[in-house]
Structure 1
Amino acid sequence: MKTFIKILIVISLNLIFIANAFSQSGWVNQTFGTRKYITINYINSLTGYIAFDDKKILKTTNLSLNWTVLNSNILLDATVIDAQFYNDNVYAFLFGGIIFITSNAGLTWNQGNIFPVGNGYVYLYAIDLLNSQTGYVCGADFGIGDYLDGIIYKTTNSGVNWFQSARIGFYYTDIKFIDENTGYATNGSVIKTTNGGINWGYIGSVNYLVLSISLPSSDTIYMCGKEGKIHRSISGGVNWTTFQTAGNDTLKDMHFANAKTGYAVGDSGVIVKTTNAGENWTLQFTGTTKNLKSICFINKDTGFVVGDSGIILRTYTGGVMVNVNNESELSPENYSLEQNYPNPFNPATLIGYNLDVRSFVKLTVYDILGNEVVTLVNKKQEAGRYQVRFEAGIKNQSANLPSGIYFYSMFADGKYIDTKKCLLVK
């Protein structure tokens, strides 16, 4: 009996933690460990990756409910400069002048070395994977005395070979492509290609060091960097407007979820947001002063930030503080997820939900550890009220589930709606 009570207490504590994670608003701190996180990428609405500075990887398959530590199996004794995760199998790490790309989730790696022209060294700042075969890196060649060359290299075979795409200007701190032909590289001065890196040309500049670039459309470009400055071009990089955000902290990364809604993160825990295409930027409360390094959004409201000292922040409300006691403010007004009935249940229960507009609905059940049990709904549905049966014991759903607490989460058009708990008692 004492053992049973102890188990219930442990389950209850886990439940409180997970339920609070879904119900809180603004930015929620989910610090994990003490290492520096370099980048975060989500490859779909549930699965995300974080790269450590020491080559380890964090992975989530349930929208950051919990994270699993993975080893990259890279034996190089060096610190990660940048990383990118294209899908579950293809990702890349940068170490100074060395690039590692895997096509099989880290079982094997293709290593590329970019060598200086002279006796100096190469330093690569950023990578952009366009698909499983094609990618670009940018940085600087400190190869000839004190002279500095900006360099861009390209691979078309998953990092087996790299060839020089550009040697122009000074160093480049970031590179982004809109499609396989059109891309930009910058450090404040901006160069552009429209033929897949065959030719690059100078198109414009701003008078500040830039560390990150975001491309919400082919002609609209945003950049951020030193002194809290954000720069916008709506002419494909020819003309620029500079906006001063709150404070002078360096902004290190930015992401636009759509044409109007964008975010930038930086030192001292700074996150700023625009909802009017960069005309105004609002400082958001993060509850941390740690330096923030990377930001990723899967829609305009659901996003994640990582940085120094194991800091992970997440939001389901676009970083906006709302009244946590008012549940209707936490979910879009066009959707609602109902409590299952009966609850507790054995062996089956009904879960209801409402749609005011036609949507692609995903309804998934998780166990207490956040592992996915079964996806009950995964399709486009017309407006209306629906019920789906969750049965613990049939082969095509969730046979032989043990007694315990489970969660079911609803997403509509890729956006998180709500999570509720249910109790299976056998």
Structure 2
Amino acid sequence: MWLDLLLRFPVNSQSTKIKRDTIMKTHLHVLNFFLVSLLMVTHTMAQDPVWTPLNGPEGGTSKTIAVDSNGVVYAGSIRGVFRSEDGGTSWTALNDGIGPYIINKLLVSQTGDVFAATYGGGVFVLSNDGSTWLRRSTGMINTSMQDLVEDSAGELYAATTSGGVHKSTDAGQNWQVMNEGLPKPQSFAVGISSRGDLFTATSRDGVYRYAAGDSLWRSVNDGLGRARGTDFTPTGDGDMLLATSQGTFKLSSGDTTWQRLDGGQNRTYFTSILLHEDGTMYGTSLSGGVLRFDAVNNVWETTGSGLQTFRVWDMAIAPDGTQFLASDNGVYRSEDDAATWLLFTEGYVVSKVVAMAVHTEGILFAGTEVSGLFFSDDEGVTWKRTRGLSGSLTRAVMVTDGGTVWVSFQGTGVFRSQDKGLSWEKSDNGIASAMVISLAEINGILYAGHQGRGVFRSEDGGDTWEEMSEGLTSKNVRAVAGMPEGNLYAAVWGGGIFRRQPADTAWTEVNNGLESINPYTLAINSQGHLFTSLAGKGLYRSKDGGESWQEANNGINDKSIFSIAIAPGDEILIGTLSNGVFSSKDNGYNWENMKSGLEVYRISSVLFGTNGRAYAGSFGSGIYSGDFAVVTSVDRTGSSAIPGGFTLQQNYPNPFNPSTSISFTLEQSDRVRLRIYDSLGREVATLIDGYRAAGWNTVAWNGRNTQGRVVPSGTYFYQLETENSGTLVRKMLLLK
């Protein structure tokens, strides 16, 4: 009843305020909590606009792979587990109960249980119905898991980073430490031979064996040298195979000296060894992809075509013989005995987006850390991998005013496309090595910041480059920016900020007021104000061309800022290490946190796109899109007149699923708070908390709460509260 009365009397006049006050006094005992939560929120609340995941770019690192007896494939990523029930063609996130941990090992037990060894969360087992994960870490002194194996009796053994080796005799319900004999409790791999001997590889002390019937670990390092063990694989005759950072080894049953499998010919960093039931031996590595062992000639041979990366972590074989690889850019499948490999990433989104750019025609380009460059011509709804490029570790992406697209890859160099990414040509003639980490176009001239060689310049569209690093005290250049009058600025790791004026022949240090000389990035707004982020110190601003700097962190509670984006209207976005995105509309004097809808808060890149869209590239969850446009002087019927008065429109569509738009009008510029409440009066989300211009304004709600979780079906209320015009409330219906 009380909420219906509120809806009948919106507060847009003095008389209705009096009527509402009378009602509220009469029902004070009912409205007490509502007054606190709905009307007494202070003006210092952070703006919390809604971000929507774009489900791309697809791909990203997979560290481990496992297949059960039914052919269901499980992939462990840097952000949880994915499952495929169609032979690896498409993937679904399977993270209920486990969270976004790094998955270092997946294990299908003899009884069919699926276990996940996580870094930081311990061991989890998949429930019987396959819908959620149950934690199994009781008794563990460290939950940073590196490896997990099962012996023939069903007992589990876990390797942990700083807790040593743990053992469970009850399917993971309880664990006991077994570190007797280990000099330090540091275990990075664990294995069990067919005769029951237990092995572990430590970080610095080599390999230890806990022989069947023994009571402590004993060193077995003869023959290994300085090689660090990464994976154990038992043979059927009691021998043990070992993958290491310097090749592969074998320890014969009962022996104490390791022998190189191939006589030492291949000293590649091996990540795993797989021994097929037919006797074929495969190896995965971080520089050679997947290899097959030729026992006749005693040599490892690279096998298969189709891999787009040589960094492979794990391999598994399904009951029907299909082979799977866990790699740096996703999961590969082979159905012809490893002769050809195909990458399948549909639904597998764990990419780290390190750089983004938008073309004048609205095409988005996203560079990922390990999977290369992607583009989208439909505002991020679908993504495609660019073709014709040799490189996967993206460092910088840029679109020049003329529409040329540029990308830099670590190890392969700089490339350009003059047809919106359809074809590419190498364009780094004159740049000493392939370590360009920033690109910029300033007054028609191209600049490249190099990690180790300083700044390079091209005045012929990228055909040739020349170094211009005179005066820099360090040559690790993170960013280059410039002003229309010709001043150039460089953010130099280990040197701070440097300036080069048009008449100068060398760079000059301009660090007055900076607390650190380790900047991450650099940006300039339309007023010529400079912004830089310093490692661990947050954001700094200079309004005098770099002569002096002042801290600009009011409202920022995470001072590890990786990226800065400035809109044409000078709104600023920053991406932080652990607390999402912050926004400032007053030149960086005050900041508002905005992370609603983000599934991860580690943001590596931010970008203002077209049509009022902004984009946030994350560490391990792809790209998110947010609507930052404030539409004024627009009438839904097509009239250009500004609707009169203070109004709150009915949301559209209504009912809705999964998102809806809420519009309102203001007579004058005003401070606005627009919040969502459920039917019990509990706050669900804050969509706006800040100043909005007079006229028509629109904001979207995607049906998620402040924590980014999808809310259930039901009736919800949205309240518009202003500083000068009053408060209005309407209701809406979410149907699924």
Provide the TM-score with structure 2 as the length reference: 0.37
Which residue identity does 1:59 align to in structure 2?
Answer: S
Structure 2 matches for 1:97-108, cutoff 5 A? 98-104=413-419, 105-108=421-424
Q: 2:531 aligns with which of 219, 222, 235?
A: 222
Change in CA separation of 1:55 and 1:260 when aligned onto 2, cut-off 3 Å: closer
CA-to-partner distance for each residue in 1:27-86, whole Å, 9 max, x for gaps?
Answer: 22223122222222223474332223332322224x44x23314241124x511111123
- Aligned-pair RMSD on alpha carbons? 3.3
Whether 1:185 aligns to 2:490 is: yes
Which residue identity does 1:294 align to in structure 2?
Answer: S
Which residue identity does 2:483 align to in structure 1?
Answer: I
Which residue identity does 1:161 align to in structure 2?
Answer: T
The answer to whether the 8 A contact 1:183-1:196 is kept is no
Alpha-carbon separation, structure 2, partners of 1:26 and 1:249: 22
Change in CA separation of 1:75 and 1:301 when aligned onto 2, cut-off 3 Å: closer
Which residue is equivalent to 2:365?
A: 49
Displacement of 1:308 in angstroms is: 2.3
CA-to-partner distance for each residue in 1:9-43, whole Å, 9 max, x for gaps?
Answer: xxxxxxxxxxxxxxx95222223122222222223
Which residue is equivalent to 1:159?
A: 462
Change in CA separation of 1:416 and 1:224 when aligned onto 2, cut-off 3 Å: farther
Displacement of 1:176 in angstroms is: 1.4
Q: Which runs of 5+ in 2 are unaligned?
A: 1-47, 59-348, 643-695, 701-736
Displacement of 1:252 in angstroms is: 0.8
The answer to whether the 8 A contact 2:360-2:403 is kept is no
Whether 1:270 aligns to 2:270 is: no
CA-to-partner distance for each residue in 1:209-260, whole Å, 9 max, x for gaps?
Answer: 2111111136311112422611000011110001335333521111222565
Structure 2 matches for 1:7-406, cutoff 5 A? 26-32=50-56, 33=58, 34=349, 35-44=351-360, 46-53=362-369, 54-61=371-378, 63-64=379-380, 66-76=381-391, 78-86=392-400, 90-96=404-410, 98-104=413-419, 105-112=421-428, 123-130=435-442, 134-141=445-452, 151-167=454-470, 168-170=472-474, 171-179=476-484, 181-187=486-492, 189-195=496-502, 199-205=506-512, 206-208=514-516, 209-217=518-526, 219-227=528-536, 229-244=538-553, 245-258=555-568, 261-286=571-596, 287-298=598-609, 302-317=613-628, 332-338=631-637, 353-356=638-641
Provide the TM-score with structure 1 as the length reference: 0.61
SS of equivalent to 2:480: strand
Alpha-carbon separation, structure 1, partners of 2:384 and 2:697: 24
Displacement of 1:282 in angstroms is: 1.7
Change in CA separation of 1:246 and 1:220 when aligned onto 2, cut-off 3 Å: closer
The answer to whether the 8 A contact 1:110-1:158 is kept is no
Which residue identity does 1:271 align to in structure 2?
Answer: V
Alpha-carbon separation, structure 1, partners of 2:541 and 2:367: 29
SS of equivalent to 1:169: coil
Which residue identity does 1:169 align to in structure 2?
Answer: T
Alpha-carbon separation, structure 2, partners of 1:204 and 1:72: 42
The answer to whether the 8 A contact 1:178-1:218 is kept is no
Higher relative contact order (CA 8 A, sep 6+): 1
Q: Which runs of 5+ in 1 are unaligned?
A: 1-23, 142-149, 319-330, 339-352, 358-414, 420-426
Displacement of 1:204 in angstroms is: 2.6
Larger-gyration structure (1/2): 2
SS of equivalent to 2:536: helix
Alpha-carbon separation, structure 1, partners of 2:354 and 2:697: 25
Change in CA separation of 1:196 and 1:38 when aligned onto 2, cut-off 3 Å: farther
Alpha-carbon separation, structure 2, partners of 1:28 and 1:71: 24
Change in CA separation of 1:196 and 1:30 when aligned onto 2, cut-off 3 Å: farther
Which residue identity does 1:123 align to in structure 2?
Answer: M
The answer to whether the 8 A contact 1:55-1:72 is kept is no
Change in CA separation of 1:161 and 1:114 when aligned onto 2, cut-off 3 Å: closer
The answer to whether the 8 A contact 1:192-1:203 is kept is yes
Alpha-carbon separation, structure 1, partners of 2:415 and 2:526: 29
Aligned length: 297
Alpha-carbon separation, structure 2, partners of 1:154 and 1:258: 26
Which residue identity does 2:509 align to in structure 1?
Answer: Y
Change in CA separation of 1:106 and 1:130 when aligned onto 2, cut-off 3 Å: farther
Q: Which moved more, 1:189-198 or 1:309-318?
A: 189-198
Displacement of 1:295 in angstroms is: 1.2
Alpha-carbon separation, structure 2, partners of 1:197 and 1:59: 41
The answer to whether the 8 A contact 1:267-1:289 is kept is no
The answer to whether the 8 A contact 2:431-2:456 is kept is no
The answer to whether the 8 A contact 1:336-1:418 is kept is no
Structure 2 matches for 1:404-419, cutoff 5 A? none
Alpha-carbon separation, structure 1, partners of 2:505 and 2:450: 17
SS of equivalent to 2:586: coil
The answer to whether the 8 A contact 1:47-1:60 is kept is yes
CA-to-partner distance for each residue in 1:272-296, whole Å, 9 max, x for gaps?
Answer: 1112211111221243324212211
Displacement of 1:163 in angstroms is: 0.5
Displacement of 1:265 in angstroms is: 0.6
Alpha-carbon separation, structure 2, partners of 1:182 and 1:257: 21
The answer to whether the 8 A contact 2:357-2:397 is kept is no
Displacement of 1:332 in angstroms is: 3.1
Displacement of 1:128 in angstroms is: 0.7
Compare the two structures and name the one with the higher strand fraction.
1
SS of equivalent to 2:563: strand
The answer to whether the 8 A contact 1:26-1:317 is kept is no
The answer to whether the 8 A contact 1:103-1:158 is kept is no
Alpha-carbon separation, structure 2, partners of 1:274 and 1:176: 20
Alpha-carbon separation, structure 2, partners of 1:304 and 1:58: 13
Aligned-pair identity in percent equals 10
Alpha-carbon separation, structure 2, partners of 1:75 and 1:306: 22
Alpha-carbon separation, structure 2, partners of 1:103 and 1:416: 38
Displacement of 1:196 in angstroms is: 8.9
